[in-house]
Amino acid sequence: MKTTPLMKTLITTAVAGAMSLLATAQAGTLENMERERAILLDALLSSELEPAKRQQKIEVSRNRLIDLERMVLRDKSLAGKNTPAVRAAFENYDLTFLVHASVEHNRSLMEHWLLQVGVSSESLMNAKLGRR
């Protein structure tokens, strides 16, 4: 079978497209951890979840985050990176490594996160539901 210039161009384009899809589909350890942390925070803050379902989602995310936080802490490729995301992650340890930090401070995940973002139990209890 003889390949024509058009076929060569199509094959080259298809291979390049497949390689670019593979390259963009890979996320680093830090990105995966941040994604899982967002899932955990969504479960913690969602008013639509029933308590049993909320606890189940929190437990699954917590277990995943334990592993992901360890992976990020041991990821040697992050040591040489000076990107804003990497700098921010390590400058804000208590928010980035939420599960480990909450255990270190002997607090629940929700209590630790609220304190880190500046919300105390007292201010939360004094808050009134209303419209802005």
pLDDT digits (tens, 9 = 90+) for 39-65: 999 998 888 989 999 999 999 999 999
What's residue 4's pLDDT?
63
8 A C-beta contact, residue 88 and residue 102: no
- Which domain, by its residues, includes 95? 26-126
The reply to whether 114 falls in a domain is yes
Q: How many independent structural domains does the chain possess? A: 1
The reply to whether 108 falls in a domain is yes
> What digits encode the pLDDT tens for the residues 120-132?
778 877 878 777 6
The reply to whether 132 falls in a domain is no
Distances in whole angstroms, Cα of residue 9 to Cα of each of 14, 31, 58, 71: 9, 35, 50, 41
The reply to whether 117 falls in a domain is yes
pTM of the model: 0.70
8 A C-beta contact, residue 109 and residue 58: yes
The reply to whether 19 falls in a domain is no
The reply to whether 6 falls in a domain is no
The reply to whether 8 falls in a domain is no
8 A C-beta contact, residue 71 and residue 30: no
The reply to whether 131 falls in a domain is no
Mean pLDDT of 94-100: 90
Mean pLDDT of 89-113: 90
Q: Which has more pLDDT, 37 or 16?
A: 37
Pairwise CA distance, residues 52 & 33, whole Å: 24
